[in-house]
Structure 1
Amino acid sequence: MFFQLNYHLYTPAIPPAFVSSSTDSHFVPQSTELRQTLQSRSETIRSYPSLGLNLPEELQGYHTLTPLDVSFGTDRRKFGNWFSVVYRAINSTDGLPYTLRRIENFRLMHQTAFSSIEAWGRVQHPNIVSVHEAFTTRAFNDSSLVVVYTYHANAQTLYDAYLKPKSPSFPQQSFLNQATGTQTPQFTPIPERTIWSYIIQIASAIKKVHEAKLAVRMIDTTKILVTGKNRIRIGSCGIVDVLMHDTHQEMHLLQLEDLTMFGRLIFALCCNNASATTNGNFQKSLEIMGRLYSPEIKTLGLFLISKSHPNKNINAVFEMIGSRVVTELDDALTATDKLENELLGELENARLVRLLCKFGFINERPEFARDPRWSETGDRYIIKLFRDYVFHQVDEHGNPITNLSHVLTCLSKLDAGTDEKVMLVARDEQSCLVVSYKEIRSCIDAAFK
């Protein structure tokens, strides 16, 4: 009778013709770059703040505060008349990192202002940085408002990614510019496919927010985060609702203002200028968009910034960009396939690590150091011989064989519990045992228990 194993001995790879990890996709970089990205995020999460920052040791259940922005002066005036600072902190309950945005010198007049934060906490969308909670504190020697968000390691704003002025590549170039009074052009247009991807992601987020009877109120290049390859999320949601709680405004008008800010954002990204629609730059911006991008982008931008269009709403936006959404969906599904393929390659690791941990627990325990029978009798003897077979083989010259393929093959067969037999030889070569991987696995389970 044939018994099917609960899981395969080896995980079969997806055929290369279906998905390849050697090339980039729209949302997922090639395999080596993806590993570097994930490793960098892990290192960032575990990094420790510098000493001498004079930050609170504990803040409403959060500790290990680390500043995430280094802006000073007027650059910090991000929310009207309030200064803002962003920190990473660890939650004492779940041990996970979160983003804390602090508004300095804000006095909460009504506790009902936090009702909007509760509403935002129910809004879950892949293009919105999730809102968790808000509170006031005097831990910074002032009255501060703190709003807690999901933390995305190594994220940067659209402004930092695309619009922030870049220094010359060479120091002598800066000197040459000063001497001649010229400027080195640093404007590299964003690819149109990327622009459309950002448009669709932001529009999807706006639609979710408007359906929740809320308004984003913060569609700005300094508040939208690039969290992955061509992946963006709207951040800092809910803060303006708290800050402007005492100022009554109709939700319909606020949602219209969302669309206007959306249009300004499109112009800013296309023209590499945060003031593309103001300060007399509008006509020049139209010329740049017409030269670099398709007419559909300019038409959408004009529709969004217009104040007199009778059918201006987020549903009308999707009617205009419907054909582009199909491309976005195709790329998203391709990214899913690619990530699944990457996951298949790592699936064996957890299984084998658990086996190695069991070996470490069982073999040569220190409390049985004076009991020679611990590793020389019964189940433990078979486990000891198997460990030698896997890890302690030598060649004809007595040199250790370090063959990782042999180790992975043996451990995979052991974890699957196959009926294949293996001959285990004692260290003195005076005896040998022929046992199956299934029997060895039973010995490990019995000794571990």
Structure 2
Amino acid sequence: MADELRQELINRHLITMAQIDQADMPAVPTEVDSYHSLFPLEPLPPPNRIQKSSNFGYITSCYKAVNSKDDLPYCLRRIHALVFAYDFHAGGETMMSRHFNDPNADAYFTKRKWGQHDGPLPRQHAGLLPESLIWAYIVQLSSALRTIHTAGLACRVMDPTKILITGKTRLRVNCVGVFDVLTFDNSQNNNPLALMAQYQQADLISLGKVVLALACNSLAGIQRENLQKAMELVTINYSSDLKNLILYLLTDQNRMRSVNDIMPMIGARFYTQLDAAQMRNDVIEEDLAKEVQNGRLFRLLAKLGTINERPEFQKDPTWSETGDRYLLKLFRDHLFHQVTEAGAPWIDLSHIISCLNKLDAGVPEKISLISRDEKSVLVVTYSDLKRCFENTFQELIAAANGQGSSI
């Protein structure tokens, strides 16, 4: 497996397993309904609880938690007395933190007046994002809106603080459905979907603002007083297709717009993103093929570990040292406790993997097992060892399920 992918997966695992010391953070609840092991993903609200979310208008907090029903991690978003559960993506960061966390990026809009430039304009790869990355984001975000709108719903959270980035360019939209719950009025006789078309149009405007902010590499660019200046920056640095897409999304139209309308502007770039996704999938499949046997070998070692050196079984303290179990003990020594002629430990992973594969397959190849006092040598086949291994483990399983004599 590639080192970069391996390190990314390790980091995700570490984040997934992260826990807090309850004594250091007593404000974090130990359990919420069927969720436990809460870990804050955002700074906790201040003790005075005056600060409110700029998106929802309520005090919010966000946690990683484990569901006791399926033992999987989830992202819990607490808003007032409501808790929303979403899939947890370890290592994800918001678009805000990835691309809009540099206060110097706003200097072009905040420190200069129109027409007065102290230096060169920001350029791609020199202060601005590459256009290929922006189109990669556009394809994913428009695809998300297309899925939501096709279902007759609206996103309503197309905002850099609610767009998650995992890996290098993979996007996910967080907090979808929150506004539908917060603004629902059960006393209304009107159809709650009556305003959905209006919300969908607002989604397209929000998408346009996100794209313009990415093109300017600054949230200041989407402020009304900076729009002309921002569009000049886009015109100078990016293609006419990107400029036209932004104008289409942000300009009032005389008709209802659809996310499908921007597909011609995306054009062949869609196939570029599709090819990139398929190539990424091919790389991951190749790495998976290299690692696919690890689970099988781990199960063999786990089963072997339940047998070797068991202190007592069926009230027999010598159980692991007699019969088939003794052969398996000697096989364990053959796997892990080899020494050189000088008596130094001989460590060879290929030897361990080869022997485990032969055990799993039950090949007729013979193997010499030597006792620790070197007074006994037993010659057996891997087929014999596999039979001993399976019979012994099944004996343990039967006792664990209450089918054998009680210990």
What band does the TM-score fall into relative to the shorter chain?
Answer: 0.7 to 0.9
Residue by residue over 1:25-46, the C-alpha shift from the partner in whole angstroms, topping out at 9 and shown as x without a partner, is xxxxxx2122222222222222
> Match of 2:273, as an amino acid?
E
On the 8 A contact 1:217/1:254 being kept in 2, the answer is yes
Q: In the aligned structure 2, how far is the partner of 1:370 from the partner of 1:346?
A: 40
Relative distance call for 1:167 and 1:153 in structure 2 (3 A) is farther
Relative distance call for 1:363 and 1:148 in structure 2 (3 A) is closer
Q: In the aligned structure 2, how far is the partner of 1:428 from the partner of 1:103?
A: 67
The structural deviation recorded for 1:388 is: 2.7
Relative distance call for 1:95 and 1:400 in structure 2 (3 A) is same
Name the residue aligned to 2:307: 362
Alignment of 1:25-424 (within 5 A): 31-50=2-21, 51-70=24-43, 76-104=52-80, 144-165=81-102, 188-246=127-185, 250-308=195-253, 310=255, 312-367=257-312, 374=319, 377-424=322-369
Residue by residue over 1:415-444, the C-alpha shift from the partner in whole angstroms, topping out at 9 and shown as x without a partner, is 122232223334454553433222211121
The structural deviation recorded for 1:311 is: 6.4
The structural deviation recorded for 1:346 is: 2.1
Q: In the aligned structure 2, how far is the partner of 1:418 from the partner of 1:276?
A: 69
Q: In the aligned structure 2, how far is the partner of 1:376 from the partner of 1:48?
A: 41
Relative distance call for 1:423 and 1:151 in structure 2 (3 A) is same
The structural deviation recorded for 1:216 is: 0.6
Relative distance call for 1:228 and 1:308 in structure 2 (3 A) is same
Q: CA RMSD in A?
A: 2.9
Q: Secondary structure at the match of 1:284?
A: helix
Residue by residue over 1:69-116, the C-alpha shift from the partner in whole angstroms, topping out at 9 and shown as x without a partner, is 228789743235323222222223223222222223xxxxxxxxxxxx
Gaps of 5+ in 1: 1-20, 22-30, 105-143, 169-181
Relative distance call for 1:242 and 1:430 in structure 2 (3 A) is closer
Q: Secondary structure at the match of 1:276?
A: helix
Q: Secondary structure at the match of 1:206?
A: helix
Q: Secondary structure at the match of 1:88?
A: strand
Q: In the aligned structure 2, how far is the partner of 1:422 from the partner of 1:167?
A: 69
Bigger drift between 437-446 and 238-247 goes to 238-247
Q: In the aligned structure 2, how far is the partner of 1:155 from the partner of 1:364?
A: 43
On the 8 A contact 1:391/1:407 being kept in 2, the answer is yes
> Match of 2:73, as an amino acid?
P
> Match of 2:7, as an amino acid?
Q
Name the residue aligned to 1:18: none
Relative distance call for 1:77 and 1:370 in structure 2 (3 A) is closer
On the 8 A contact 2:52/2:60 being kept in 1, the answer is yes
Relative distance call for 1:448 and 1:265 in structure 2 (3 A) is same
**Length-normalised TM-score, structure 2:** 0.81
Equivalent pairs, count: 367
The structural deviation recorded for 1:369 is: 12
Relative distance call for 1:275 and 1:372 in structure 2 (3 A) is closer
Q: In the aligned structure 1, how far is the partner of 2:255 from the partner of 2:82?
A: 38
Q: In the aligned structure 2, how far is the partner of 1:242 from the partner of 1:443?
A: 60
Q: In the aligned structure 2, how far is the partner of 1:267 from the partner of 1:167?
A: 18
On the 8 A contact 2:205/2:250 being kept in 1, the answer is yes
Q: In the aligned structure 2, how far is the partner of 1:81 from the partner of 1:448?
A: 58
Percent identity of equivalent pairs: 42
On the 8 A contact 2:312/2:318 being kept in 1, the answer is no
The structural deviation recorded for 1:236 is: 0.9
Residue by residue over 1:98-150, the C-alpha shift from the partner in whole angstroms, topping out at 9 and shown as x without a partner, is 2222223xxxxxxxxxxxxxxxxxxxxxxxxxxxxxxxxxxxxxxx2222211
The structural deviation recorded for 1:275 is: 3.6
Q: Secondary structure at the match of 1:281?
A: helix
Q: In the aligned structure 1, how far is the partner of 2:358 from the partner of 2:38?
A: 46
Relative distance call for 1:428 and 1:151 in structure 2 (3 A) is closer
The structural deviation recorded for 1:225 is: 0.7
Name the residue aligned to 2:404: none
Residue by residue over 1:380-430, the C-alpha shift from the partner in whole angstroms, topping out at 9 and shown as x without a partner, is 333233223222222111222122221111112211222322233344545
Pick 1 or 2: higher relative contact order, CA cutoff 8 A, min separation 6. 1
